[in-house]
Amino acid sequence: MKVLVSEQIAQKGIEKLTQEGVNVDVKPGLPREELLSIIGEYDGLIVRSNTKVNEELYQKAAKLKVVGRAGNGVDNIEMEGATKRGIIVVNTPESNVVSAAELTIGLLFATCRNIPQLHNRLKERLWDRSGLKGMELQGKTVGIVGLGRIGSLVATRLKSFGMTIIAYDPYISDTRFQKLGVEKKETLDELMSQCDILTIHTPKTEETYGMIGKEQFKVAKKGLTVINCARAGLINEAALMEALKAKIVKRAGIDVLEGEPHATSPLLEFDNVIVTPHAGADTVEAQDNVGITVAQEVVSALRGEMVPNA
């Protein structure tokens, strides 16, 4: 069994593959042309979010039997091409959700209290808080779009700060809203018009891409705080920039940017936008979990055994 790991995963994951008798090549950052020229040798491929696993790659991957996504979102993997060739796609949907929820909350705090800006001033030897007054969370309303694994973790954690939690997710049961103590909103507009802080936690699909755009910002409360620790483009970046300029959005905390992994987004120009380079799952715990889980799943798939997240 020969597996190519094309992005950095935890050493524990690599060790797991080796222990199971897999011949592993770890080549993070491999140029696309090189990846395409060698993929034909491999039975398995393990990726994170940067490697585009698409028709171009499948056509060169004559032996490929399994693609392991070391993480949750599979929007960088073309499912149709895999399915028609009998290639199994596995992911690790549970392994990094706590870390992603915690970074969401970290961005929320950093944004609402201007922590990076204050830090930068002091590092420049300036004892100066002027123009950087923050906002308390207590008593505010947070609007969650997508009350799945990460959205729910964010909801339960933010409740302890005395916030009102409302959510829009037409695909989950009322019972789940009740269990989580979250107020259900029937429409996105209703949520947008009521929240002080918006955080999105949907997958990236044709339906959700750009779902927060110009029209949604039109009905938003003035002074909204926006957090996106899910996927680039769920919140239309051009619309977000317009809303920042119009002061409808007062501040934003963003982990995922259009054009990533390149630091090209015009959002980087805004002083009131705090950014991280898709670091939601970058903790020792999450990466160990993800690495070990994806290794186990890829091995099971190659052996023709049952795979939980196929």
Using CB under 6 A, list all residues that contact ligand MLT.
48-49, 71-73, 96, 280-281
Active site residue 201: no
Q: Confirm or reject binding of residue 248 to ligand NAD (CB under 6 A).
A: no
Nearest-10 Cα torsion for 97, 160, 274, 230? 30
Question: Of these partners, ligand MLT, ligand NAD, none, which one is at the site of residue 219 (CB under 5 to 8 Å by kind)?
Answer: none
Question: Pick from ligand MLT, ligand NAD, none: which does 48 bind, CB < 5 to 8 A by kind?
Answer: ligand MLT
Per the annotation, the verdict on 48 as an active-site residue is no
Cβ neighbours for 72, distance < 8 A, ≥ 6 positions apart = 91, 92, 93, 95, 96, 97, 100, 281
Catalytic residue among 231, 237, 251, 297: 231
Minimum distance, C-beta of residue 178 to ligand MLT, in the bound complex (Å): 28
Residue 2 β-bridge partners: 23
Least gap, CB of 103 to ligand NAD (angstroms)? 7
Among 15, 190, 260, 285, the active-site one is 260
> Minimal distance in Å, beta carbon 38 to ligand MLT?
22
Q: Please tell me the distance from the alpha carbon of residue 140 to that of residue 118, in angstroms, as a whole number.
A: 23
Residue 84: both structure tokens together: 């028609």
Lookup result for tokens 């923050």: 134
Identify whether 119 is a catalytic site residue. Answer: no
Nearest to 147 by CA among 114, 119, 184, 116: 184
Span 40-69, contacts to ligand NAD by CB under 6 A: none
Q: Contact between 96 and ligand NAD (CB under 6 A)? A: yes
Buried b or exposed e, range 108-141, using 16+ CB within 10 angstroms: bebbbbbbebbeebeeeeeeeeeeeeeeebeebb
Report, as residue numbers or ranges, the catalytic residues.
Answer: 231, 260, 278
Q: Rule CB under 6 A: which residues touch ligand NAD?
A: 72-73, 93, 96-97, 100, 145-151, 168-172, 201-204, 207-208, 211, 229-231, 255-256, 278, 280-281
